[in-house]
Amino acid sequence: MLANLLDLSLTRRAWLRAAIAAPVFIGPARSAVAQSASQPFEKWVASFRPRALARGVSAQTYDRVMAGLKPDISVYTAIRSQPEFREALWQYLFRRVSDWRIAVGRERAKEHASLLTRIERDYGIAPTMLLGLWGMESAFGDPDVQKNHMRPVMPALVALAYGEPRRRPYWEKELLNALVIIERGWSNPAEMRGSWAGAMGHTQWMPEVWLNIGIDYDGDGRINPFGKPDDALAGTARYLVERGKYRRGEHWGCEVKLPAGFKAGDAARNYSAWGALKVARADGKPFAEPNVSVRLWVPVPGGPVFLVGQNFYAIRSYNPSMSYTLAICHLADRIAGAGPFVQPFPGAEERIPTLAEIQEIQRRLTAVGFDTGGTDGRIGGDTMRAVVAYQRKVGMVPADGYAGLKLLARLRQGS
């Protein structure tokens, strides 16, 4: 996915992996029968039963879960739909590294200090990095996200396993993994709510991750990404170490300033070597880890420039998007007390709106007939759709869905 374009939705690893694996088809949703390779759904359920039993799912569990289950055919639209909005990288970052997420992240750091310290001791993941990822994936386990933006996972996985032809083996395996989770008593179909692709819980685990990487960190006898965040955060830390190769004690990287006329390829050098080339931290501080190897990354010409190390790519293993990874790393730094980027992005002349200003935008939009779904200062899909509709009505260009200060000024002017 392009570094300066990301969709508005709760972007999940499964969607990105599916998108990378096969081109997105643009077209109308087809019925479940039309999606299916060969047989009616009821016959497919019966034919899939031996595979579940072979994975250790009991006949009783399979029949209880699958009997009468209706496939959620809306997933066929979701997997093929183009992103509803396109955001410049600075908009993507401003919306996610918001005052609300920074403030709540600091609250969660205090609330869960002992848990985060224990995870750091066991796995080496910096607490603020876990907080950044948690904030990005589920707004720190916000129940409103679970209630309003998640759906029952089993009907979605059944539909994908039954009727999605391009990656059917993948979806079949994830359905089997979900059935094994239920068989083990770790969860039940009513509790298993998540994205249309099957990602669930505080840090949005796919069933495979839940089954193979999850940890019973609170010792209650089951692995659970819902409820208390213990299992979810510890399992995600294990994921970053085992699959992302996260390195204990290393920072992800930093924003830097380049000397005039500087040109360099993508070769990795340690911080000392970059310093010898007159590359310096943008905030003027010395490099704290002179022997750590990092690479230069320029997301947008004319914008901030970064040196990124192994732990940046460890976070990227969780979702293969550079923009997503930068947002998490920047959010982690802001939670820890760091300031905004030193170099502004091109086109981002206006400052980031405050929490109070975003709430004012939401109140004013709702008052003039563009429902934002709440006035909590968080900008999700409802707010962005309201913004676009208002921008189009009053002739603002571009109608990009960005809830910024220019929009607020226009709202204050009235119709």
What is the distance between the alpha carbons of residues 45 and 25, in angstroms, rounded to a whole number?
Answer: 26
**Residue 205 per-residue DSSP state:** B
- Non-local (6+) Cβ contacts of 241 within 8 A are 123, 124, 125, 314
pLDDT at 81: 63
Per the CB < 8 A criterion, the answer to whether 44 and 36 are in contact is: yes
Does residue 340 have a pLDDT over 90? yes
Encoded tokens for 119: 């995870």
Residue 270: helix, strand or coil by DSSP?
A: strand
User: What structural domains and CATH numbers belong to the chain?
Assistant: 1-252+309-349 (no CATH), 355-413 (1.10.101)
Does residue 34 have a pLDDT over 50? no
Average pLDDT over residues 278-295: 96
Encoded tokens for 260: 């005039």
Helix %, strand %, coil % for the chain, to 5?
Answer: 50, 5, 45
For the chain, what is the total number of helices (H) and then of strands (E)? 20, 7
Per the CB < 8 A criterion, the answer to whether 335 and 350 are in contact is: no
Does residue 17 have a pLDDT over 50? no
Cα–Cα–Cα angle for 247, 4, 246, nearest 5°? Answer: 5
Cα-to-chain-centroid distance, residue 214: 18
Q: What is the largest CA-CA distance in the chain?
A: 70
Exposure class string for 339-349: b at 16+ Cβ within 10 A, else e: ebbeeebeebe
**Residue 78 per-residue DSSP state:** H
Phi/psi for 243 (5° steps) reads: -100, -30
Per the CB < 8 A criterion, the answer to whether 356 and 350 are in contact is: no
Residue with tokens 């910096």: 126
Residue 87 or 306, more confident: 306
Q: What is the pLDDT of residues 218-236, one digit of tens each?
A: 999 999 999 999 999 999 9
Residue 162: helix, strand or coil by DSSP?
A: helix
pTM of the model: 0.85
Q: What is the pLDDT of residues 113-140, one digit of tens each?
A: 999 999 999 999 999 999 999 999 999 9
